[in-house]
Structure 1
Amino acid sequence: MYVSTTTAHHAPTIEQQVFRIISKRKAIRASRVRKTASLARDLRFETLDVVDIILALENQFHITIPDEVPLNTVGDFVRYVRDHAAAA
């Protein structure tokens, strides 16, 4: 019996989608985006860049990211979206 795996190949994971949104913000290579990367220190994002990323993630995943949530690394964004998009 043949089981199609094409669905897995066509549906990007939450992590891949978050990486894509972050890398598109400043047209940086996706290869530079790592879960441990600090948005300010490693990727040189300014506050406005982070706000734009948050808005894009909220729109993409239909979630709300409160101001008080500490989001400093790419991994912080991935974790928050993964935890809250699944609950939505």
Structure 2
Amino acid sequence: MRYLLLILFILFNTIAIVVTMTQPLTVSYFSLRVMFVGLSFVLTIFFLLLRKSKVTTYLSILSLMLSIVHMALIAHSTYIYLY
């Protein structure tokens, strides 16, 4: 189950990052994006702290990096939209 959740987080974060990079910076679906990145960030840290296997640890690290990049893109698009 952990593998599936981490792979889904990696997949959805990657898709969101690609969509954010290819389209002009807007805040469309802002609350949905913030909730998703917050959930994926917290659960990824939780899975990283559990350390059940090497695969889970590697997937957690990859998901954590993608979540941080996604957070940065959300913050950047919000800054551009507001200012």
Shared fold (TM-score greater than 0.5)? Answer: no
Higher Cα Rg: structure 1 or 2?
Answer: 1
Q: Counting helix residues as a fraction of each chain, which structure ranks higher? A: 2
When normalised by structure 1's length, the TM-score is: 0.29
Q: Specify which structure has the bigger relative contact order, considering alpha-carbon pairs within 8 angstroms and separated by 6 or more residues.
A: 2
